[in-house]
Amino acid sequence: MPTFCPKCNAMLPDGLEKCPRCGTKLPKAPGDPNALTPQEWRVLLLEAYKFALLPVGLAFLLGIICLILLYV
């Protein structure tokens, strides 16, 4: 589907950053509607870190307890 320049209404091919007729910077085409926003990525990564760090933290604490019991 052709796009049009918002300033001079020239018909433009897809993928241009500027209008070749008037030089107006063109808005970017909308991306994938299923793509995650940066805020959604942040929340997803925080949830993943919680589950990844829980076993590591528990193993560390268990190791410390074992060392204490071994040397006491």
Domain positions in the chain are 1-28, 36-72
Cα 66 to its chain centre, rounded Å, is: 41
Other C-beta atoms lying within 10 Å of the C-beta of residue 12: 17
pLDDT at 63: 94
DSSP β-bridge partners for residue 18:
25
DSSP 18: B
Reported confidence tier of residue 60, pLDDT bands at 50, 70, 90: very high
DSSP β-bridge partners for residue 3:
12
pLDDT at 32: 61
pLDDT at 33: 65
Res. 56: pLDDT tops 80: yes
pLDDT digits (tens, 9 = 90+) for 12-36: 888 788 889 998 888 776 666 677 7
